[in-house]
Amino acid sequence: MTAKVNDNGILQIAIHDEMTIYNAHSLKEMFLECCHSGTQELQVDLSAVTEIDSAGVQLLLLLKLEAQKHGFTLRLFRHSEAVIDVFELLKLSLYFGDPIVIHANWT
């Protein structure tokens, strides 16, 4: 995961790995570190997520709850094909509310 902070309280992070049970603990710690009073908006780039299981979904749900609890905006963007598949299966797109772009070269 990489992180970049802007001066206006916008924190951008990119996940460069699977979001599975095997790395859920380390991802959870990194996500929770982003949830502090100085954060106005948290933007999560999901373009490099190659696999996501129920543990990964739970992490995103936790992040959404933490955003609501701490009063900042959560934006998920550049959803990978794996993330879109799971979001469609579980009907989570509306819950998170972020636009999802489906690329023409995906099968």
User: What six digits make up the tokens of 92?
Assistant: 């989570």
57 forms bridges with which residues in the sheet? Answer: none
**pLDDT, tens digit (0-9, with 9 covering 90-100), for 12-60:** 999 998 999 999 999 999 999 888 777 899 999 999 999 999 999 999 9
Distance (Å, whole) CA 77 – CA 19: 15
**Alpha-helix runs per DSSP H in 1-107:** 24-34, 54-70, 81-90, 93-96
Angle, CA 48 vertex, CA 95 and CA 4 arms, to 5° = 85
- Higher pLDDT residue, 104 or 25? 25
Q: What is the pLDDT of residue 36?
A: 77
Amino acid, single-letter form, for residue 100 = I
pLDDT at 1 over 80: no
Q: For the whole model, what pTM was predicted?
A: 0.87
Q: Which domains does the chain have, with CATH numbers?
A: 2-96 (3.30.750.24)
Q: What is the pLDDT of residue 105?
A: 67
The answer to whether the Cα torsion of 81, 63, 97, 89 is positive or negative is positive
Q: pLDDT band at 5, cuts 50/70/90?
A: low
